Structures are given as C-alpha cells and as structure tokens.
Structure 1
C-alpha cells in the first residue's frame, strides 16, 4: 500500500490521520503532520454493528414558526378559486405577479408552499389572505409597547 501523502510504500499498517480536514492513510513519517484518527473496529463475528441513531423527526413547516401566522392549509384551493373568479388562467396569474407558470401550478396543487415574497404578490393580485393568524397573536401585537428602532431613525433622517 502507498502513502496517500508522499507516495512511499507503507511498511506495516498505515496510520489514518486528519490533515487539514482530509482523512488520509499515511506512512509513519507523514503521520506526524496531522492528528491521528481512530481506526474503525471490525465487527466481531455474530455481532451486529450498532444501529445509527435515527434522525430527529422535524415537524413539517417549522420555517413558518417565525412568521406572524402560518400559511393556511388550503392555500392552493384559495388561490385557484380567486384566480377563477377573476377569469384568469394560470399563465395570466403568473404574468401578473411576474413569476413562472409552473410555480403557480405547483402552488395550486399544494406541492409547494409559497415563499413570503410570492405569497405577498399572490395576496395583492388576487385580493386574498393566505396567512392564518391566531387571536392570541393579534391581541399580543396590539398591546405591545412602541419603541424607536434604528430603522425608524434612518427613515426620519431621509425625510
């Protein structure tokens, strides 16, 4: 076997070392250039290797937890209904909001949850709401303390 770093023939067993993020099988001379990595132990005959831990289950729409409300479950049906009421085809709607027709098709089928930018465009063009805002969020927003932010100061100076 050859050293993966210098190319010399390895006498004896190779050393597995991590050199700048790469794990290589090297000779004893090159092994001092990196940090030795533990060799994987072969499984004993008759014993099964321990199963890898299962990936943690993620809930489906955790990205939307940070939003004011979640996109309603029937967003595709609402979009299609509003589009048909305006006598628009999917292509007409796509042209209106300056997006691709295939995106509209996927959203209406429910295969794709619209991103915030697309959702806002759809809401404006169709005159509908796609967010499901709970009563708790509405009341908590109304009673909040108003404070000046850095963005407000920048807007004031521009005016």
Structure 2
C-alpha cells in the first residue's frame, strides 16, 4: 500500500488533510487549505482537479529522485593541498577554471564557498573529492531546517515585519 504524500497549504504552510483546493489566485495556481480558501474565495477561481493530479504526480516523482550535493567542510585545505601537489599557482588554476585568481584565493582561505558546478570543475582538474551526495528521499524523517519551504504567508509576514 502506497502512503499518500503530505500536502502543505501554499499560503499558510499548514498540512492539508485530504486533497486541498487548487485555485488560480493573483495569476498563480496554488493548492491551499479550506481555511485559506474561505478567506480568499472572492478573489480566487477553483482549478479543475485533473490539472492538480498531474502536478502532484510530477512533484512526487521529482521528490523521490531528488539528490542534493554538499561541499565538504574542509574544502579549503583539500583544494590548496591538491593545487600545490599538482605544482599549480592560483593564477594557473584560475585560468583552467575560467574564473578570476581572487576567487581561487578566497576559496582556498574559506572565505568563499564554491558553487556546485565550480566544485565539480575543481574535482575534475585537481583529481580530488569535495562533493558529497545527499539523497533527500532517504532523509524523510529528519527535522532539518534545510527542508523548510517558504510559503506565500511567510513572505507576507516578512514584508509586514512580523516573525
């Protein structure tokens, strides 16, 4: 038996019990809880359920295969040692990476964390491993702050100065 994925209201962020209500609101198609719908129903138009099921199935497939790359904490030391062992200067490495020399220096001192693409290029050029694969689908039970998604309600609270 397949467990149904939890849906969250895209306006207030609360868990939606049941299917939720998909509406077109201010130019966006969102799925909201009945409480939020009662507040905005005069400004929102309900969207047919056929489109909602298609969107939900795509989101479920994406979540199951979603992989996140993370850069190891001691990346500055690994990069600097690898560059020196290859006999490269920071200028030569920067030319191979097609970035400014200042970027390489800041990465090696830990003042700048490389992007995932730049980290992949560094791994290829220096024959090192600084990226770690994190599989989100196996991490469903963690209460990590990184799994928090911003809702429209959060944005409204931020704009109005509430926390």
Q: TM-score if structure 2 supplies the norm length?
A: 0.40
Max Rg structure: 1
Larger helix percent: 2
More relative contact order, 1 or 2 (CA 8 Å, 6+ apart): 2
